[in-house]
Amino acid sequence: MKKQNWLIIAVILAIVIGSASLILLNGSNKDKSVTVVDDDGTEVTIDSMPQRIVSLSPSSTELLFAVGAGDQVVGVTDFCDYPQEVVTGKSTGSITSIGNYWQPAIEPIAALDPDLVIASGGGASDEAADRLRHMGYTVIVLNPQTVNDVLANLEVVGKATGHANEASTLINSLQARIDTIASKIATVSDKPQVYVEISA
């Protein structure tokens, strides 16, 4: 992924978390079956709102909390440390760390008996996702490459976790903010050069 794309995605994730307080906790798809298509193109059907979610990447963890599904998260990676509720959950034992983000081990994930696993694409947890699916676990793979992909991932996570309305509210708020910024900088000619270093 180009470094510019990583920067954009990082900015959007920061906005997502900062805007989480705008989520409206009204009715959602908590009691009905939903089907989503993940970033691998896999159609995933979820029969009821998952109660035990394991996230295999920091970005997925942040999306889960942003749409209001934080109370359903029981497992995250060693590298997941935002929002603060994740750190608190780890320290109190309500959230378990399953270990490494890159090629995570299957055993600690399975030990949590998740009814939904949010995996990361691009090679980070593809093998784990495949193995978990073959073991009968419900797995969604997220691999955003653009700002629009991040917004689409919010929609998928919201639907999959029973928080579709909350996700929609957040997406609309984010899109409005993005549109405002895009309008303001449309005529700017003096653009700074930015260096972004990822996973050095």
Q: Is residue 49 within 8 Å of residue 161, measured between CB atoms? A: yes
End-to-end CA gap in the chain: 14
- Better pLDDT: 129 or 186: 129
Residue pLDDT, tens place only, 57-75:
999 999 999 999 999 999 9
pLDDT, residue 180, reads 95
Cβ count near 64 (within 10 Å): 26
CB 43 within 8 A of CB 159: no
Predicted TM-score (pTM) of the model is 0.82
Cβ atoms of 165 and 28 within 8 Å: the answer is yes
| pLDDT per position as a tens digit, 149-200 | 999 999 999 999 999 999 999 999 999 999 999 998 888 888 888 898 876 4
Architecture (CATH level 2) of domain 3-185: 3-Layer(aba) Sandwich (3.40)
Q: Tell me, what's the pLDDT at 9?
A: 55
Residues 87-114, mean pLDDT to the nearest whole number? 96
Angle at 10 between CA 9 and CA 11, to 5 degrees: 90
Q: What was the pLDDT predicted at 45?
A: 96
pLDDT reported for residue 27: 41
Contacts of 165 (CB under 8 A, 6+ apart): 24, 26, 27, 28, 158
Distance CA(180)–CA(15), nearest Å, equals 13
How much of the chain, in percent, has pLDDT values that exceed 70?
84
Asked if residues 85 and 60 have their Cβ atoms less than 8 Å apart, the reply is no
Q: Is the pLDDT of residue 12 over 60?
A: no
Sorted by where each begins, the domain ranges of the chain are 3-185
Predicted confidence at residue 198, as pLDDT, reads: 72
Mean of the pLDDT values across residues 98-124?
96
Is 60 exceeded by the pLDDT of residue 2?
Answer: no
Q: Does 39 have pLDDT greater than 50?
A: yes
pLDDT of residue 93: 96
Would you state the pLDDT for residue 26?
40
**Alpha carbons 18 and 174: distance in angstroms, whole number:** 10
CB atoms within 10 A of CB 66: 26
**pLDDT attached to residue 13:** 56
